[in-house]
Amino acid sequence: MTLDEAQQRVDHWIQEIGVRYFSELTNLAQLVEEVGEVARVISRQYGDQSFKDSDRDIDLADELADVLFVVICLANQTGVNLTEALERSLIKKTSRDRERHQQNPKLTGSEVENRDDCLG
């Protein structure tokens, strides 16, 4: 499914099942809530926190999909074409960050090598 198709499918779902879009402010609150759920899963799956029994069946993919759904809702109701916006964002990031990331010792491993040299 493309981003354009996703935007169309979410819009169709809203019109047929959801009745109407929530307000932009409500959707922003929904987005924050959904991102919090992603954070909860990641902090337990990859971080130091342990799962509660009630959290064991929570799936990261489902939570990320919930975030994407709300982002698409916000894009639809504010007239944003996500395909075009993502393409512009990738161009911007490529132009801005092309050399910065290539020279980042935290990403290239040279910082670890330098730290090892200091421990010598």
**How does pLDDT run across 66-106, given as a tens digit for each residue?**
999 999 999 999 999 999 999 999 999 998 887 888 888 88
Q: Domain of 10?
A: 1-80
Do 64 and 120 sit in the same domain of this protein?
no
Do 27 and 73 sit in the same domain of this protein?
yes
Instruction: Kindly write down the DSSP assignment for every residue of 50-111, as one continuous string.
Output: PPPGGGTT--HHHHHHHHHHHHHHHHHHHT--HHHHHHHHHHHHHHHHHHHHHT-HHHHSHH
Do 66 and 15 sit in the same domain of this protein?
yes
Number of separate domains in the chain: 2
Do 43 and 59 sit in the same domain of this protein?
yes
- Global confidence as pTM: 0.82
Do 61 and 74 sit in the same domain of this protein?
yes
